Amino acid sequence: MKSIFVPVELHSSIDCVLGTAALLARQFGSNIEGAPLGPDLPDLVAFDMPVSWTASDQNAWREIADEAHRKFESFMMENGVPLHAPGGPGGGGTPTCSWAGENSLGDSQAASMARAFDVAIMGRPGSERGDPRMATAEAAIFESGRPVLLAPSTPVKPFGEKIVISWNQSTETARAVAFAMPMLLKAKSVVVLTIEGFGVDGPPGEMLARTLRYNGVNAEAVTRPKGRVDGESILDQTSKLGGDMLIKGAYTQSRLRQMIFGGATAYILAKAEIPVLMAN
């Protein structure tokens, strides 16, 4: 986790996103690379962007990118994360930061850029105006091929000491666990959580916990009864177990089915109050 990517958009949770990135960078001596983020152009057109969009509008877009840059650097300086040459790695155990690009990236562009990093950090999507956008998170989850760490909308405390894995036996969760190995090895304890009746055919949680122990992770497996809603059960049990971070595969069901019927991923995206690492 030496290379962290943070798309910066001035939404309601940006301080929580940057704070989460700084905490993770301190754990691993990482470089945090920020880049300005804005909606994809097709999204703007969908909202009736005027046909007369001109150079002056492009200048306004550039000003938004400049403001994101100022926010990123001022936050990092105030939180003891010094500037480093763009693209450079963290040095030793000291976190550093850098900035990439002058023009705002669209969601798909940010997802593409995230492919070159160990992890991308962004805000948990919200439903209120000014909240982080679902399109950003979904683009990163589906298109980056990398893990995405979603920061909650409240200030983040140090995390990663007790990690809960929501194990549903899926390939998506297996990939998320593989991506998270550097964090799992640093954790004081890891719980492989299975919710009864939630999952697909695959190896039981104890088998995963055993493999993690072979790799030096202090892991145990637990099974808990299913509640009324799968996502609610996962978050409730994670809280009861004292988890300060959750690992989960994203969208084991098809995205269309999730949109129509809901699902654990959709619930967790809407409700989680701790950092959640997802991969698809």
The residue out of 151, 179, 211 marking a domain boundary is 151
The answer on 142 and 107 residing in a single domain is yes
Is 126 a member of any domain?
yes
The answer on 192 and 136 residing in a single domain is no
The answer on 233 and 183 residing in a single domain is yes
Is 156 a member of any domain?
no
The answer on 70 and 33 residing in a single domain is yes
Range 84-90, long-range pairs (CB < 8 A, 24+ positions): 84/31, 86/33, 87/33, 88/31, 89/2, 89/3, 89/31, 90/2, 90/25, 90/28, 90/29, 90/30, 90/31
pLDDT given for residue 210 in this prediction = 98
The answer on 195 and 64 residing in a single domain is no
The answer on 25 and 133 residing in a single domain is yes
The answer on 186 and 121 residing in a single domain is no
pTM of the model: 0.89
Crossing angle of helices 14-28 and 55-78, rounded to 10°:
50
The residue out of 151, 178, 212 marking a domain boundary is 151
Contacts of 98 (CB under 8 A, 6+ apart): 31, 32, 33, 34, 83, 84, 85, 86, 87, 88
pLDDT digits (tens, 9 = 90+) for 152-195: 999 989 999 999 999 999 999 999 999 999 999 999 999 999 99
pLDDT given for residue 64 in this prediction = 86
The answer on 173 and 139 residing in a single domain is no
Domain count, the chain: 2
The answer on 139 and 226 residing in a single domain is no
The residue out of 96, 118, 151 marking a domain boundary is 151
pLDDT given for residue 175 in this prediction = 96
The answer on 240 and 137 residing in a single domain is no
Range of the domain at 59: 3-151
Is 94 a member of any domain?
yes
Is 157 a member of any domain?
no
pLDDT given for residue 67 in this prediction = 95
Return mean pLDDT, the chain. 88
CATH of the domain at 38: 3.40.50.620
Q: Is the pLDDT of residue 41 over 90?
A: no
Q: Is the pLDDT of residue 256 over 50?
A: no
pLDDT digits (tens, 9 = 90+) for 67-87: 999 999 999 999 999 998 554
pLDDT given for residue 226 in this prediction = 87
The answer on 143 and 89 residing in a single domain is yes
Q: Is the pLDDT of residue 238 over 90?
A: yes
Is 40 a member of any domain?
yes
Is 10 a member of any domain?
yes
Q: pLDDT grade, residue 205 (50/70/90)?
A: very high
Q: Is the pLDDT of residue 43 over 60?
A: no
